[in-house]
Amino acid sequence: MHVFFADDAKQNQPSRVRMGSLVASGGLFVHGDSLASMERALNALCAETGFPPNEEFKWSPRRDMWMHQNLVAERRQVFFSSIVQICADHQAKALVIISDCDSRTPSDCTTHEIFVTKMLLERVNNLAVSAASTAIIVVDRPGGGILQERKFLSDCLYTLRNGTRYVVPEQIAINPISTDSHLIRSLQAADLIVSCTTALVAGQTTLAPDIFEIIKPILARELDRVGGVGVKIHPDFKYLNLYHWLLGDEMWIRNMGGRPLPHSARPYFKGPNQF
């Protein structure tokens, strides 16, 4: 049995040229036998760093959080790097689904939030298939109150029962379980992974690039590429060259065919900031 810790992220003002607001979903895929050890290690790191009991960490802490004033600059970078290293030491795999809100969604998805959730369920199922395992998904409780939480979980259940266009996620054991992120360090680590990756894709140049270099080795991959697997940026036809510049992919693979990257007929051929 594996557990997938899921969180979401938003980026309202990307700095990358010709990119709209982004919504994302993703997290960490952890073997059940490693989970207790990873959670203890994350808790120990937080205690050693000085976090008050039950105080959570986040990629973008609120002003009223301890780490906003007490864990800054190089100390924050070292802390985030240590969090990712603990995940790597416990063989966790990460995946992040990102959608540009200026793009169209498939006809079966009324919002970009539903789209990234469907893609997440599909890819968690694929990870479970590859691991010859089943998965339980634990999600951070959605903002907006109980009605929004019920709507989110109902949408997930519909997808599990009816499938996506390509997959019926039969390796996901039960509907996702929703809880508060401050109760589980692994959920907080999922927030770090998803938020950092989304910030990097959006063009952030301060903290995200250095932390993402440590995240990159734990991203799920297939056929020697991360794009479309560990990180999917929708729409692919517009952003596939970012798979080369940001993830290091040399090939774009789709429908059993491949094209070398960067692709001259697609945006960002000459670099990640040249549309």
The average pLDDT across 89-117 equals 95
pLDDT at 219 (0 to 100):
98
In the structure encoding, which two tokens stand for residue 69, read together?
A: 């004033």
The average pLDDT across 138-156 equals 91
> What residues does each domain of the chain span?
2-260
pLDDT at 37 (0 to 100):
98
Q: Which residue has the tokens 């039960």?
A: 174
**Would you say 172 and 138 are in contact if contact means Cβ atoms under 8 Å apart?**
no
Whole-number Å distance between alpha carbons of 94 and 162: 25
Angle between helices 32-49 and 185-202 (to 10 degrees): 80
The average pLDDT across 161-189 equals 95
Surface-to-core class of residue 129, CB atoms within 10 Å of its CB (0-12 exposed, 13-18 middle, 19+ buried): middle
pLDDT at 142 (0 to 100):
84
Q: Which residue has the tokens 């990629």?
A: 59
Surface-to-core class of residue 63, CB atoms within 10 Å of its CB (0-12 exposed, 13-18 middle, 19+ buried): exposed
pLDDT at 36 (0 to 100):
98
pLDDT exceeds cutoff 80 at 188: yes
What is the 3 state secondary structure string of 179-248? ECHHHCHHHHHHHHHHHHHHHHHHCCCCCHHHHHHHHHHHECCECCECECCCEEEECHHHHHHHHHHHHC
The residue among 184 and 148 whose pLDDT is bigger is 184
- Band of the pLDDT at 165, cuts 50, 70, 90? confident
- Band of the pLDDT at 253, cuts 50, 70, 90? confident
pLDDT at 4 (0 to 100):
98
Q: 189-227 pLDDT, tens per residue?
A: 999 999 999 999 999 999 999 999 999 999 999 989 999
Give the class (CATH, top level) of 2-260.
Answer: alpha beta
pLDDT at 143 (0 to 100):
80
- Band of the pLDDT at 99, cuts 50, 70, 90? very high
DSSP class of residue 6?
A: E
Residue 96 parent element (H or E):
strand 93-100
The average pLDDT across 10-25 equals 96
CA atoms within 13 A on the CB side of 159: 29
Of the candidates 195, 198, 194, 203, the one whose C-alpha atom is nearest the C-alpha of residue 271 is 203
Q: Which residue has the tokens 């790597």?
A: 88
